[in-house]
Amino acid sequence: MSTIRLGDIAPDFLAQTTEGEINFHDWLGDSWGVLFSHPADYTPVCTTELGTVANYKAEFDKRNVKVIALSVDGIDSHHGWIKDINETQNTVVNFPIVADEDRKVSTLYDMIHPNSDDKMTVRSVFVIGADKKVKLTITYPASTGRNFDELLRVIDSLQLTAYHKVATPANWNNGDDCVIVPSVSNEEIPGIFPKGHREVKPYLRLTPQPNLD
């Protein structure tokens, strides 16, 4: 087992899910992906998280992102739990949940942290680009539910900065000004950023978000 670092190719795997057997890389195709783990089925915080993701699926679809969850419980348990999620969160779970009873995927992605719990996975999040490379990793403790608005915000930043020569400043949200990366010279700015720019310091140059009309 090794730590997965940013820029690594996301490990491929074959697994049973609530939507049938999948090969992870084939399932992703040319989409981005979010793989996120849950400590166990029938746990309260996870129930709210999976319901939230189901309700946000249109937002992920808009960004060409496929979402897939994982728990170390089995398929039958997953299907029973989905009924509870749909009922309590007023939704319909519309993405696969990996059954990882043998902990192969959990081990592959280093999702079990023995000093926290030697059986259940922590709340790991992996954002994977269309190139199958890991773009973001976040690890939450089992006691803290994830903020999926923040995850969408980060995906917006990742997709923007992957295709334009900008970075996003603190607390950036979609539509806000962006930072021009240092590798772009002042002479190049008019050709790359026709909307103009504002120089706060020679190393801090702001421009309107380039991928918006």
- Ordered structural domains, the chain, with CATH: 14-145 (3.40.30.10), 164-207 (3.30.1020.10)
Residues 6+ apart with CB under 8 A from 118: 112
SS3 88: helix
pLDDT in the model for residue 114: 45
Let me know: does 125 contact 3? Beta carbons within 8 Å.
no
Place of tokens 């902990």: 103
Give residue-wise pLDDT tens across range 12-32: 999 999 999 999 999 999 999
Q: What does each of the 213 residues of the chain score in pLDDT, given as a tens digit?
A: 458 899 999 999 999 999 999 999 999 999 999 999 888 889 999 999 999 999 999 999 999 999 999 998 899 999 999 999 999 999 999 999 999 888 888 888 888 654 444 455 557 899 999 999 999 999 888 788 999 999 999 999 999 999 999 999 999 999 999 999 999 999 999 999 999 999 999 999 999 999 987
Of the residues 4, 28, 35, 46, only one is catalytic, namely 46
CA distance 110 to 104: 10
pLDDT in the model for residue 115: 47
Return the beta strands (E) in 26-163 as ranges. 32-38, 65-71, 97-99, 123-128, 134-140
- Does residue 46 have an active-site annotation? yes
pLDDT in the model for residue 107: 87
What does 99-136 look like in DSSP terms, one character per residue?
E-TT-HHHHHTT---TTT-SSS--EEEEEE-TTSBEEE
CA distance 6 to 162: 14
Give residue-wise pLDDT tens across range 168-181: 999 999 999 999 99
CA distance 143 to 124: 13
pLDDT in the model for residue 122: 58
pLDDT in the model for residue 84: 96
CA distance 90 to 48: 10
